[in-house]
Every structure is written in structure tokens, then in C-alpha cells.
Structure 1
């Protein structure tokens, strides 16, 4: 099987077009949501999601905290769905992210947050889903049907929808301008050749994926996709936390993928890449780097730093689909997984 023949490859390649259509179609509802959030500023924000949607929520969390300054936390879904507890969260925002909008624990958590006083916004691909019915307002992802079990275009659509909402909420003119160029940059990111990583990763058994800040969510997403589609034990860490213990496992030949963005966290990523290389690790760094012994993977430049993670994960998806088939897997049908996981 060739990567180019998989649904994962084809669906990921659609992401630029999907984001362009989404940004245009959602202008009115996003403006409505942003107006509500400005008129009644939330005291805190909660994020609900599972799997790739949970990783999108990490991106949204950092965006909210850095752009708007509202303390944001992931919501533990089992507290509502298993333990039956309702949080007291008056005046807060609950941002619930889902492709299907039908996982029972996610719907229960959003409903509990709403009953506890939160304003619930759903970012969901299936309009009219149970999650949409619970939410006070729905921002459609508009990714269309996604047939591959491995989420790609719906994940990127989740990131762009979150960034759109936060740009309008914060009134950040530079972020708004960055969103205007985002679809064409996503298309450019898809053409980036990360095949330099293939020889090391085809035979690998373990891998670290490292990011920080607004990029940590895509590091988690990349690690998840490597598990799902490549049968590769990949773990995601921030550039800070990997130094607290996990660094002890990094020895000669250990592969590390760093996904930094061009903000205040980049220098730390460069320093870490050099440190990994000194230990003998096989280090792949997304973007130009001066770190000796590190393999630089080509990236798209001239994007708003907060939007760079979207471009990095798009380039990664092409690598992941190719790596999956090189390791003898079918990325469209990972073993033991279903497209919709209805956890309770």
C-alpha cells in the first residue's frame, strides 16, 4: 500500500480548502460568540474533549490564556459521567470539542458544566449531534465526512475554529490577519518533505515528541497518531517536563521529534535539541536550527507564531501516513480502534 492511496493522506490534503471554507462560513457565529464573551467575560474556562479533540483543547487552552488571560483548565469528564457530580462554575466558559458530538461522557460533562452555570460553546463536526443540543452555541467545524479512523482534517479544523474564536474574542489584529493567510499556508505545509525522518523512524520502537506552549497540543497529537497509525510507542512532553526524569531514557540512537513555534519558547527548544544530540539521540527539529548534530525538517515560515502549530501538524500528517505504510500498517484502519469511541 502506498501512503498516497490512503484515506488519511487524501483527507489531510483537504485541510487548507476546508479551513478556508470554515473561516468564511463561520464569520457570523464566531462574531456572535466573541461578542457574548466580551460583554460577559468568563471568570474561567473549561475544556472538554477526548483523543484528538482533547489535544485540540490543549491548543485552545494556551491560546485562551496567552491571548485573553482567562485561566483555563481541562474538565475531568468522569467526574460528571461516572461519579455523577455537577461542578459549580458560575460565570465560566465551557469549550467542548468533538468530531462526532456523541460520546456520552463528553455530552454529560458539557451538560453538567451548563447546569453548574457555564456558557457552553461546542466546536463540533456533526451539527445537530447530542453535544450541539446541549451547547448554548455551536461553532461547526465543517470538515465534512472523515472516513479514515485517524483524524486529520477534523483536528486541523478544530484548531482553526478555536483560533478564529479566540482572535475575535481578543481583538488581536495580527492573529486575525494570520488567519486570513492560514489556508494557503496549510497547503504549503502539506508539500514540506519530512522524509529525512523515515529511515530512523521506520525501525524505531520508542519516540519522544516535544513541544511547548501553544505547540504542546500538536506534540500530543503527533504522539497519538504515531501510536494509532504506526504502532510506535511515542510520548509527548514539553521542553520543560522532559528534563524532569524522561531525559534519563534518551541514549544513543533514541529518536526525538521537536515541534517548536517561533515564539518565546523557541530558544529553549534549540537548547534542548542540542542537549539531546550530545547524548547521542537522533534529533529531528521542525524548522531551521543551529543546534549541531540535529536534522532540520523544512517548515513554512511567515505565519503568525500562534498558528505555526497548525502548519507543523499538517506537515507531520504527511510523514505519519508515509511512515505508517512503510512500517506495514494501514493508517485508515488502526487495530482495535473505531472512528467514534463512545466512552462513558
Structure 2
């Protein structure tokens, strides 16, 4: 897991090279030409969080309605929704989940444009899709996904911005911002704060993660990583949902990891953080700015809020790794889990 985490800056650089970026641009141009009226994402686990990030991008940057499909409506209940004029995107690290492949097969037969986003270009998901994007993360050694997650994020970001451009080509300013990501990721990973923080939560009984907007998928992915590597119950809430009841469970014995960006989503957390302080929550802030009342900050370089999820998750992955080791667990082989989970 440590090796996989460390490879993420190189993974960003690889995706931005012409050998990977040009095929993504061609897929983006093909989608733009078809002019879908709405976008449906289907995914499981970590890839579901990448899909949620892409749904935010789709609605904000493309102005198209976007949502996450429930595969079981098709695979278990036999639903055949009208997906004509839709773009249906399957996001899967392995491309081997039968339910996701079935969703794309049904969607394509219903007239949808289908796209597979995966780290396995020879997978069943790619076979059933009309278009495919290879996230090119390379072999992932640990069961817990890390570098494939951030590769999915970057590939989906490049795809959405390419669709927005119309011809798949990223504007010069966008390209320059993305080109800075490998160096920024390396700088983020050089900070040892996650390892220093881990012993503090060795005996935690539960934990909460939260964020708004683009930061919400990060909060969900961080919670999943903590649960599957440390077996620590971790609940993820959007900042808004946290105020609708779950806030009551926070107190000095419940650590809260708050992902706070510099854009509208981060500013919206301004109504959440004081309420957490009132509850005496043990608050850890993740992001580029200092947060009043936070006991610790996992610092991340400041970037446009759209790009922040590619960096914000890095110290949280390292925290999950360090916490698992502090609790005497094996983060490379979580009990009961396999790299490919076959569900229907």
C-alpha cells in the first residue's frame, strides 16, 4: 500500500503524457459530438467515489444532469430504464464486476452511449462499452485501492474538461494547471503529519469524515479506506447532512476529519465547523487553509477546488495506512476482501 501511494505523482504524469491524454481527448470529442442530454454513472466501492466526483464535475462544468445508477435495479429487479440520449459511464478499477458490465450492456441496447473508465483495458467492462478510457495506473499491489482512485479522478477530470472544450483539447490554462499536479502531489506526500497523527487515534472507537461539494467524495473515500484497512467504523457525511441530525453523535471522543477547500464548498463548511467546535469535537482539517478550532491540519497545496480531490485524499490514504499499522493490522491484505469483488 505504501508503494502504491508513493507512485501517484508518477501516475498523474503518465496520464498527462500524449500516449494517454490523446486517447482521452478523442473519447471526449466523440462524446461532445453525440451531445448527450444527461449522464449516468455506475460504480462500486472506491470507484463509486470517483464517479460521485465526476457527477459534480458534469453538472457544474457541463451543465448536464448527472446521477449515480443503482446497478441492482437492472441486475436484480430487471428494470429497463429509458436511457436514450444518455451517456452511461461505468467506472471500475478492475473492470471485472459483472453487475457494472450488465448495466452498460443494457444501457447500450437501450440506445445510450456507453463508456468504460478502468485500469484494465482488456476487461469485460471494456468489451461491452462503446468507448473506453484507460486510467493507466499500472498494477496495484495492495487490495485497498489508492493509486487507481486518483488515476480515475484525473482521467474523469480530463474527460469532462475535454467534453466542455468540444474537441477534446484542454485549454492552455487548464493544461498548465494539470501539469503542475505531479509536483504538487509529491510535495503533499512528503509531509509526515499523517504518520505523526496516527497514534492519537489508535484506540478510537469510531470516526466521522465530512466535506461539501467536490470535497464530499474525498470524505467518503477516506472513510472507506479507514474501515477496510483499520476496521475502524467511519461515517461519511456531507457537511449539510451532518447538520441534519448526525452532528449529535460528535463529541471529544469522536474524531472528525473535515475536508475544507478554498472554493464554494469550503466556504459552505463555515456553517459546519463552528457547530463541531460547540460539540467539542476532536477536529482534524484537511486542505490548504488553517481552520479555527482544528487540533491538527493535514496540509495540502492550494489549487482550484476542482483539482483539490486529487491532492486532499493523499494524506488521508497515508493516515489510513499508518493507523492500520498502529492498530496491528495488515493494510495490504484486509480480512475478507479481494481485489475484484463480483456482485450482481
> Shorter-normalised TM-score: what interval?
over 0.9
Distance 1:106 1:37 in 2: 20
SS of match in other structure, 2:272: helix
Q: In the TM superposition, what is the alpha-carbon distance from 1:128 to its structure 2 partner?
A: 1.4
The aligned residue for residue 112 of structure 2 is 118
TM-score, normalised via structure 1 length: 0.94
The aligned residue for residue 272 of structure 1 is 272
The aligned residue for residue 213 of structure 1 is 213
CA deviation profile, 1:233-268 (whole Å, cap 9, x unmatched): 001111100100101111233210011221112122
State whether residues 274 and 294 of structure 1, in contact with CA within 8 Å, keep that contact through their aligned partners in structure 2: no
Distance 1:105 1:38 in 2: 27
Aligned CA-pair RMSD: 1.5
The aligned residue for residue 223 of structure 2 is 223
Q: In the TM superposition, what is the alpha-carbon distance from 1:189 to its structure 2 partner?
A: 1.6
2:3 aligns with one of 10, 13, 27 = 10
State whether residues 107 and 130 of structure 1, in contact with CA within 8 Å, keep that contact through their aligned partners in structure 2: yes
Distance 1:9 1:106 in 2: 29
Alignment of 1:1-344 (within 5 A): 8-24=1-17, 25-171=19-165, 173=171, 174-192=173-191, 193-195=193-195, 197-287=197-287, 288-301=289-302, 303-344=303-344
TM-score, normalised via structure 2 length: 0.94
SS of match in other structure, 2:306: helix
CA deviation profile, 1:10-30 (whole Å, cap 9, x unmatched): 111101101211221222222
Gap regions ≥5 residues in structure 2: none
| Count of aligned positions | 336
SS of match in other structure, 2:307: helix
Distance 1:163 1:96 in 2: 15
Distance 2:195 2:270 in 1: 21
Distance 1:157 1:88 in 2: 31
SS of match in other structure, 1:93: strand
Q: 1:53 to 1:290 in 2, by over 3 A?
A: closer
Gap regions ≥5 residues in structure 1: 1-7
